[in-house]
Structure 1
Amino acid sequence: MTQNWHDWVCLGLTTLAVGGTWLDSTALAQITPDDTLGAEGSRVRSNATVQGEPADLIEGGAVRNANLFHSFQEFNVEEQQRVYFDNPAGIDNIFSRVTGGNPSNILGTLGVDGAANLFLLNPNGILFGANASLDVQGSFLATTGNGFLFENNEVFSATSPEAPLLAVSVPLGVQYGANPPGAITVQGSALRVNEAQSLILAGGEVLLEDASLAVALLQNGQVVGLREGGRIDIGAVAGVGTLELSETNNLLSLRFPEGLARADVRLTDTTTLDVRANDGGDIAITAQNIDILEGSSLLAGIFGGLEFPGSQAGDIRLDATNAIRIDQRSLLNNVVGSDTVGAGGNVEITTDTLQVSKGAQLSASTFGRGDAGNVIIDARDRVSFNNGSAFSSVESLEAVGTGGNVEITTGTLRVSNGAGLVTRTFGQGNAGNVIINARDRAVFDGGSAFTNVASSEAI
C-alpha cells in the first residue's frame, strides 16, 4: 500500500457553516458535503478534467500532515459519472464518511486523482452497481461501521460527527455501534486495485452477486498485466466492537478480535476473487457463515508464464464461526501455473461445519516448477464432501515439485457420492499425504481418500 499511511494526524472538528462549498444541481443530488468540518469542508467541482476525461472532482477537506478528511451528508455516484478525490501533494490517505441517513450507491467510477489510499464509510450501507468501477492507485477500503478509530479512543465518526480534537498516529480499526451496520452489496461490478495494494470490504453483511474483485497491474484504471500480489479482505460484523486494521505482508488487512460478533458473507452467480500474480497475493474472508455458490471462484497463486525463482504464492483463508458452504461447482484454487517457477500457497479453512458439494473443489496444485501448497481444514464439528473434492497435486508431466497435503481435523467426516480427498503427482516429485484426524468418526459412502503416483517420472 502507499507508504506512510500511518503518518501523524491532528484534526480539529467543529460545527460551523461550510465556507466555499459550490455544487451544480446534478452534484447536489448525488454528493452533498455536510457542515461538520467547518471552513475545511469538502467541495465538489463539476466539469473538471481528470486523466483527460470529464469528471466531478472532490476538493477541500481537512488536511493534517499526510491525511485528508472529507465528510458528506449524501454520497452517491451515478451511472457513467466519474467522481474523483483530489490528491494534494503529500497526502497518503483520504478518509471519507457519510453522516446522513441514506446508503451510498456507487454506480459509476469512483477514484483518486493520485496515489493515496481511499477509505469510504457509510453505516447505512454501500451498493456497487453493475457499472461501478474503482480507479485508485492505492488501497481501497469500504465499510459500514460507525467510524474510524484512532489512538486515545478518538473516532472519526459518521454517527457522532461532532468529534473533539483528533490527534493520532495510525487508524487502529473500524468501530461498530449498537445499531446493525448496513450491508455492502456488489452486483455485477468489476472492482480492481493496483498491484501490491489491498481491496477491503467490511460490512454488515457482504453480498457479492456476479461480481469480480481483483488485484492487477493497472494504468488509467485498465488492467495491463500481473506482477506483485495484493490482498482481497472481506469481513462481516454484526455486533458492537472494533474491527482492527493491521498490516499483513506490508498490506492493509482486517483482524477480528475474540468476541466480536460476525455477520454473513455470500458469493453467488459466478463471483470471482482473483489475486494471482508473480509473487504473493492473499484472499481472506471472515464471517459467521460463508456461502460460495453458483460457480463462484477464489483464485490465488503464481500466474502462468511468470518465471521468478523464489516466488511464493499467498494463501486463501476462510474463517467462519458457524458454517461454510461451497457448492454448485464453485472453486477455491491456489495454483502454480504452467511454465512458471515458484512455490504454491495454501487453502486454509477454519469453521464449525464445512460442506463441499455438487462438483465444488478445493485445490492447491502446481503445473509448473515449484512445490504445491496444502489444503488444511479445521472444522470443530463436522465436514461433508458430497460430490466435491479436495486435492493437492503435481498436475502435468512437465511439472517439477512436491505435492502438498490434504489435512482435515474435525469431529465427524463424511465423504460420499463420488467425492474425493486426493494427493497425486503426474510429474517429477513426490505426492503429499491425506491426513484425517476425525475425533468421532470418518464415513466413506461412495467417496474416497487416496494418494496416487501416476507418472513414471515421479520420484
Structure 2
Amino acid sequence: MKLKLIYLLLTAAPLWVCGLQRVASAQLATPSKPSGPASTLIHPTTPATAVEQNSNQFNITGGQASGGAAPNVIHQFDRFDVRNGDQANFIVAPNVSNVVSLIDSPQPSSIYGTLQIQSNVPNVASNANLILVNPEGLVFGESIQLNLSGDLTATTASGLLFSDTYHLDIDGVVSRAIIPGQDNTGNTNPSVANLTGPPTGYVFTDSDRSLPITNPLSTALPVGSIHNKGTLALEPQSTLTLLGRYVQNDGDIVASGGTANLVAVTGDNLVRLSQPNNILALELISTDAIALQSAAGIPQTITGGDASQANRIQSNTNGSQSLTSNSSLTTAPGSVLVRGSIDVSDRNGQGTVNITAEQINVIGSEISANGINQGGFVSIGTESGIITEDVMVNRSSAVSANASAGQGGTIKIRAADTIRLYGDATANGTSPGNLDLKAGQTLDVR
C-alpha cells in the first residue's frame, strides 16, 4: 500500500508482523571465509610506538599521550593485520581513557586474532576504550576475539575531532578546527596534549573513492568499508560502534545491556556527536565549510586528498585483503547490510541498537534488545543528520524488544521514502510495547 507522509504507531501487545516475500538466495551469496592474513603485520610509523613480539603476542607500548582527566594514547601504524591465533596487546597506564590507533595504510586492515588492552600495573585492570581508524577499511575475521573491558570503535574516517575543537588527521597531524557557528577560540598551537576524552566527531573525506550503488546485496565491498564476519563480544553495558562508508555485519555482535551502533556515511562530511558516544544525536557538516589551523598557523580547508583509482576490497587466496579497481563495484556507499545477529539483551532492558544509513538492509538477521523487567530499544533509520531513504527487513529476519515480566520495549523504523517490513517485529511484554513506523512515501508491511 502506498501512503503519503505516513505515521503508524502500534501500542498493543503482542506486536507481530510476518512477511510473505522471500529474497532470492542468489542475491545473498555466502561470504567467502578466508583464514585471514598469512602473518601478523603491525608496523608503527613513529618511534613513539614500540611493538615487541613474544611468541604469538605482539605487545604495543608507548605512543603519544595527552593530558587531562581522561588521557588518551595515540599510536600510528602503516600496517595493522592480526593473524588467526595471534594477539595485538596494547599495554597502557591504568588511567588511560582511550587508545587511538591511526592506521595510515594503502590497504584495509584484516583482524582475525585477538584485540586486547592490558594495564602496565600488575593486578590493576585497564578500562580503556579502543578506537581503530583506517580510511581504507577494516575486516574482522571469523576467528576474531575481543579482550576489552571498555568500548570498541572501528571507523574508516580520515580524522577525528576532539572537544569539538581539535582535529587529529590520519597522518597524526593535529590542527585547530574552525567550524561555522561555534566558538572557535581553541589553542592556536595544538598538539596531542590537547586531545583528551573521547572523540566528539569523525571527519570523512575522499568520497570519490567509492562508486554508486547497483546492487546493495552484493558481497563486494567498496573502499572505506567495515566488514564483520566473526563474533564481536564486549563486556556488559559496553558500546560497539562501526562507522564507515559502508558497513556489513555477517557475524555476531554481542553487548549485553550495552549499545550497538552501525552507521554508514556518504560524501565529505564531519559527523559530529552532540554528546560523546551518542551516535543518535549526530550532525553532518560539509568539510568544505571547515578550516584547519595547523601548528604553523596556516589555515586550510579540509578536502579529499589524493584519490586512488582503487574502489573495492578484494579477498586474496592467502586470506589477505587488497584493493582493486574493478569498475563492476556493486555495493552501496552509505549503506548498512546486516546478515548476522546483534544482541544487546539484558535483564533490565537497557540494550540499544542504532542502525543509521541512507539505505538499510536487514537480511536473514536476528536483532535482539530483550529483557526481563523491560524491553530494550531498536532504532533502524533516522530523519535527521544522515537521512535514511529506504529500509528493508526481509521475511527471514526478526527484530525484538520483548520483556518476559515487564513492559515491552520500542522498535522504531524511519525512512524518507520506503519501509519494507516483511519479517517479524515484536515488542511483547506484560504491558504493551511500541512498534513505531514512519515512511515518507511507501509503507509495505506483510
| TM-score grouping bracket, smaller chain normalisation | 0.5 to 0.7
| Partner in structure 1 of residue 50 of structure 2 | 43
Change (3 A) 1:64 1:55: same
Tell me which stretches of 4 or more aligned residues in structure 1 moved more than 6 Å. Answer: 259-262
| Partner in structure 2 of residue 3 of structure 1 | none
Match runs of 1:311-390 below 5 Å: 311-319=373-381, 321-337=388-404, 340=405, 342-351=406-415, 352-357=417-422, 360-366=423-429, 370-385=430-445, 388=446
Distance apart, 1:266 and its partner CA = 0.5
Change (3 A) 1:247 1:302: farther
Counterpart pick for 2:231 among 190, 199, 205: 190
The alignment's C-alpha RMSD in Å is 2.4
Preserved contact between residue 395 and residue 424 of structure 2 (Cα < 8 Å)? no
| Partner in structure 1 of residue 219 of structure 2 | none
| Partner in structure 2 of residue 71 of structure 1 | 76
SS of corresponding position for 2:150: coil
d(CA) in 2 for partners of 1:60, 1:152 = 26
Match runs of 1:49-448 below 5 Å: 55-65=57-67, 66-113=71-118, 114-151=126-163, 153-159=165-171, 161=173, 165-166=191-192, 167-170=194-197, 171-179=199-207, 180=209, 182-187=224-229, 189-209=230-250, 211-216=251-256, 229-247=257-275, 252-253=278-279, 255-257=281-283, 263-268=334-339, 271-279=340-348, 280-293=350-363, 295-303=364-372, 311-319=373-381, 321-337=388-404, 340=405, 342-351=406-415, 352-357=417-422, 360-366=423-429, 370-385=430-445, 388=446
What letter matches 2:418 in structure 1?
Answer: T
Distance apart, 1:192 and its partner CA = 1.1
d(CA) in 1 for partners of 2:78, 2:38 = 12
Preserved contact between residue 134 and residue 192 of structure 1 (Cα < 8 Å)? yes
The question of 1:33 aligning with 2:44 is answered: yes
Cα deviation per residue 1:63-95 (whole Å; 9 max; x = unaligned)?
A: 223211111011111111111111212111111
d(CA) in 2 for partners of 1:152, 1:377 = 33
SS of corresponding position for 1:329: coil
Gaps of 5+ in 2: 1-36, 119-125, 176-189, 210-222, 288-332, 383-387
Cα deviation per residue 1:216-257 (whole Å; 9 max; x = unaligned)?
A: 3xxxxxxxxxxxx11001100011111223548xx6535432
Give TM-score scaled by structure 2 length. Answer: 0.67
Gaps of 5+ in 1: 1-25, 49-53, 217-228, 304-310, 389-459
Preserved contact between residue 198 and residue 252 of structure 1 (Cα < 8 Å)? no
Change (3 A) 1:28 1:165: farther
| Partner in structure 1 of residue 312 of structure 2 | none
What letter matches 1:266 in structure 2?
Answer: L
Count, aligned residues: 318
SS of corresponding position for 2:201: strand
d(CA) in 1 for partners of 2:278, 2:240 = 9
Preserved contact between residue 74 and residue 100 of structure 1 (Cα < 8 Å)? yes
Cα deviation per residue 1:185-216 (whole Å; 9 max; x = unaligned)?
A: 112x010111111011001100112x100113
**Per residue, is there more strand in 1 or in 2?**
1
SS of corresponding position for 1:131: coil
d(CA) in 1 for partners of 2:342, 2:155 = 18
Structure showing greater Rg: 1
Distance apart, 1:159 and its partner CA = 4.9
Give TM-score scaled by structure 1 length. Answer: 0.65
Preserved contact between residue 27 and residue 46 of structure 1 (Cα < 8 Å)? no
Q: Percent identity?
A: 26
Preserved contact between residue 77 and residue 106 of structure 1 (Cα < 8 Å)? yes
Preserved contact between residue 235 and residue 254 of structure 1 (Cα < 8 Å)? no
Preserved contact between residue 129 and residue 152 of structure 2 (Cα < 8 Å)? yes
Change (3 A) 1:93 1:252: farther
Preserved contact between residue 198 and residue 253 of structure 1 (Cα < 8 Å)? no
SS of corresponding position for 2:355: strand
Preserved contact between residue 242 and residue 263 of structure 2 (Cα < 8 Å)? yes
SS of corresponding position for 1:302: coil
Distance apart, 1:343 and its partner CA = 2.6
d(CA) in 1 for partners of 2:285, 2:409 = 29
Distance apart, 1:178 and its partner CA = 3.0
d(CA) in 2 for partners of 1:192, 1:246 = 27
d(CA) in 2 for partners of 1:260, 1:300 = 34
Change (3 A) 1:112 1:254: farther
What letter matches 1:379 in structure 2?
Answer: A
